[in-house]
Amino acid sequence: MKKIIGFDIDGVITDEEHENDNIWHDAICNFLGYDIVRKSDSYLFDQAYDISSDVINKFLDKNLTDIYSQVKPVPLARETIRKLYNYNFEVNLITARDQGFKGLTTKWLKKHQIPFTKLIHNGDKVPHALAAGIELFVEDNAENARAFARNNIPVILINKYHNKFLETKGKSIYRVDNWQGVCQIINDFFKINFL
């Protein structure tokens, strides 16, 4: 019987964050023409920065396609997903990206040789995960992690500045720092040893 796993794309498969560097922060600073200070460690622009929603929308309209097209994958994420797919796992990618980016996302995944069984564009991930029978999901968004846990879908939460506040003890949420940690949890969860 196939094992079914799910992954978020942005912040999980995409390599967006390095020490003191984040593609989204760099892009907003370039757009504004100055180095803006983050006011909170929020996942959402309007909460993270003291700028209007009008400016945020203009920034996203101008930059989203380029960011989605040019971001690199985390090397170990790509390797891990390939191995899982080749070992007959069903790999479901569920992203909050707008449906209008499905073609671009599919092209990016093919370019970077990241195989998948299903690609779903929807911010409300849990109903799709439940319908697909996903047994374990890899995520970076704290609210999504909570929603998965509430619906009895274990989730691996990759540590990011925007999810550090979430208490994960006893909630079917496995917190990890990197993809080595993701691989270890997947190995243990599915009782495999090829990652």
Q: Is the dihedral of CA 121, 125, 127, 133 positive or negative?
A: positive
Task: Let me know if 8 is a catalytic residue.
Answer: yes
Residue 7 corresponds to which amino acid? F
124-127 own/partner pairs: CB under 8 Å, 24+ apart: 125/6, 125/8, 125/94, 125/96, 126/151, 126/153
Q: Are strands 17-18 and 21-22 parallel, antiparallel or unpaired?
A: antiparallel
3-state helix, strand, coil in the chain (%, to 5): 45, 15, 40
Q: Are 97 and 105 in contact (CB under 8 A)?
A: yes
Alpha-carbon span 153 to 155, nearest angstrom: 6
Task: Let me know if 61 is a catalytic residue.
Answer: no
3-state secondary structure of 14: strand
Catalytic residue among 8, 61, 66, 177: 8
Alpha-carbon span 50 to 99, nearest angstrom: 28
Catalytic residue among 10, 41, 50, 66: 10
3-state secondary structure of 33: coil
Task: List the catalytic residues.
Answer: 8, 10
